[in-house]
């Protein structure tokens, strides 16, 4: 989905797929494409009809097989030194006509329903749960103070409430509904929780994060601290999600 000039404003995508009859020619650049360097295929949102002024109209989705001789995948290094995501450049890459996913011109509607699923899934509130589990194990061995027990209980209750909200979105999607507003709430609350958990464990434990050496818990804490800035960006920023919620509540 994302492009250098189309992140929050996704309807501004410029990548173009031109219909050749029995194939499509794709040109443009995508960015932040997670896992493109190891994936066998990527789902692409591109303009097939009209112009950029048509915004949500005229967009379509494709499943593009990777690697491809005319698709360049450049790794982007993040703050933790790893390269999970990429810039993906389409140099007039030709794909078979069967690469079209769903209906031509319905890309926007298809992407919106996928985002409701993505925004409410476990990976949007459980990313830092391994840290909570590791800290719980540590407290079990070392003993916990009253304040540490309170922190542990509060975080566990929050994770449980988010799980119930996430399951409700899944139920509504299965029933054919469009739970966009609830999904946006899960992602906003869930990704905030992921970061708050790291701060709470760090404050309550007094453990010093270490990138190398040290204990498993110290390394996990360091990794969690470095990943935290991404939580409220990926899958749609919290500002955008709150806009969706406000619109759903009729106050925007
Ligand atoms: C770890 C990670 C993995 C990712 N993986 C993928 C992936 O696999 N595929 C993919 O397509 N994308 C991926 N992304 C991209 C992600 O979806 C975008 O970063 C996100 O949508 C924001 O777009 P942007 O970076 O262009 O920021 P911008 O849209 O430029 O936003 C910059 C800032 O302005 C704010 N802002 C923008 N518009 C408004 C508005 N109307 N109202 C209020 N505030 C606004 C934003 O909230 C943000 O704080 C990933 C990002 C990260 C961090």
Q: How far is CA 12 from the centre of its chain?
A: 19
Q: Which two tokens stand for residue 143?
A: 């003993």
Residue 233 has, within 13 A of its CA and on its CB side, a CA count of 7
100 and 113 both lie in a single domain: no
Cα–Cα nearest to 54, from 93, 96, 107, 99:
107
Let me know: does 40 contact 66? Beta carbons within 8 Å.
yes
134 and 238 both lie in a single domain: yes
Long-range Cβ contacts of 247-251 (<8 Å, 24+ apart): 247/181, 248/180, 248/181, 248/184, 249/181
Span 66-77, average pLDDT:
98
Does residue 165 sit within a domain? yes
Q: Out of 93-102, 107-116, 131-140, 238-247, which region has the weakest mean confidence (pLDDT)?
A: 107-116
186 and 94 both lie in a single domain: no
pLDDT digits (tens, 9 = 90+) for 27-46: 999 999 999 999 999 999 99
Q: Which two tokens stand for residue 155?
A: 């975080």
Whether pLDDT at 108 is above 90 = yes
Does residue 3 sit within a domain? no
Does residue 4 sit within a domain? no
Integer Cα distance of 30 and 45 in angstroms: 9
Does residue 5 sit within a domain? no
Does residue 64 sit within a domain? yes
What is the domain count for the chain? 2
Integer Cα distance of 103 and 124 in angstroms: 28
Based on its alpha-carbon atoms, the radius of gyration of the chain, rounded to whole angstroms, reads 21
Of the candidates 84, 105, 126, which is a domain's last residue? Answer: 105
Whether pLDDT at 117 is above 90 = no
77 and 150 both lie in a single domain: no
Nearest-atom number in ligand 1 for the CA of 230 is 53
Of the candidates 105, 140, 162, which is a domain's last residue? Answer: 105
112 and 101 both lie in a single domain: no
Q: What percent of the chain has pLDDT over 70?
A: 100
Span 119-140, average pLDDT:
94
pLDDT at 116: 84
Torsion over CA: 232, 233, 235, 237 (sign): positive
91 and 121 both lie in a single domain: no
Does residue 15 sit within a domain? yes
pLDDT at 113: 84
Its ipTM equals 0.98
238 and 115 both lie in a single domain: yes
Nearest-atom number in ligand 1 for the CA of 235 is 17
Q: Which two tokens stand for residue 220?
A: 């996990």
83 and 171 both lie in a single domain: no
- 145 Cα to the center of ligand 1, angstroms: 40
62 and 124 both lie in a single domain: no
Does residue 132 sit within a domain? yes
pLDDT at 173: 87
Domain of residue 40, residue span: 10-105
Whether pLDDT at 178 is above 90 = no
Average confidence score pLDDT of the chain: 96
Cα–Cα nearest to 1, from 37, 47, 40:
47
- 20 Cα to the center of ligand 1, angstroms: 32
Is 8 touching ligand 1 by the criterion CB < 6 Å? Answer: yes
CATH classification of the domain holding 160: 1.20.140.10
Of the candidates 79, 105, 131, which is a domain's last residue? Answer: 105
Nearest-atom number in ligand 1 for the CA of 238 is 47
Span 5-21, average pLDDT:
96
Residue 137's pLDDT band, with cuts at 50, 70 and 90, is very high
> Tokens 């189309």 sit at which residue?
6
- 218 as an active site residue: the answer is no
User: First CA to last CA across the chain, in angstroms?
Assistant: 25
Q: Which two tokens stand for residue 53?
A: 């002024």
154 and 168 both lie in a single domain: yes
pLDDT digits (tens, 9 = 90+) for 184-234: 999 999 999 999 999 999 999 999 999 999 999 999 999 999 999 999 999
Long-range Cβ contacts of 220-227 (<8 Å, 24+ apart): 220/130, 220/131, 220/134, 221/131, 223/80, 224/128, 224/131, 224/197, 224/198, 225/198, 226/78, 226/79, 226/80, 227/80, 227/127, 227/128
236 and 123 both lie in a single domain: yes
Does residue 1 sit within a domain? no
140 and 80 both lie in a single domain: no
Whether pLDDT at 122 is above 90 = no
């Amino acid at each position: 989905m994302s492009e250098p000039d189309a992140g929050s404003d996704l309807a501004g995508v410029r990548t173009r797929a031109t219909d050749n009859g029995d194939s499509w020619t794709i040109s443009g650049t995508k960015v932040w494409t997670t896992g493109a360097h190891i994936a066998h295929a990527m789902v692409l949102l591109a303009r097939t009809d009209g112009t950029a002024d048509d915004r949500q109209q005229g967009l379509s989705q494709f499943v593009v097989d990777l690697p491809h001789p005319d698709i360049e995948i450049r790794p982007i290094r993040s703050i933790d030194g790893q390269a999970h995501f990429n810039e993906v450049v389409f140099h007039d890459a030709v794909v078979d006509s069967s690469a079209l996913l769903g209906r031509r011109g319905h890309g926007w509607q298809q992407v919106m329903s996928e985002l409701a699923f993505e925004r409410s899934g476990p990976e949007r509130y459980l990313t830092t749960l391994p840290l909570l589990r590791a800290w719980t194990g540590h407290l079990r061995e070392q003993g916990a103070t009253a304040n540490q027990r309170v922190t542990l209980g509060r975080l566990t209750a929050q994770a449980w409430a988010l799980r119930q909200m996430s399951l409700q979105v899944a139920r509504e999607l299965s029933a054919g509904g469009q739970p966009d507003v609830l999904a946006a709430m899960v992602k906003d609350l869930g990704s905030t929780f992921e970061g708050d958990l790291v701060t709470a464990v760090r404050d309550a434990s007094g453990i010093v994060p270490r990138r190398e050496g040290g204990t498993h818990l110290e390394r996990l804490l360091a990794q969690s601290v470095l990943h935290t800035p991404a939580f409220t960006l990926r899958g749609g920023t919290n500002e955008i999600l709150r806009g969706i919620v406000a619109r759903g509540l009729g106050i925007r």
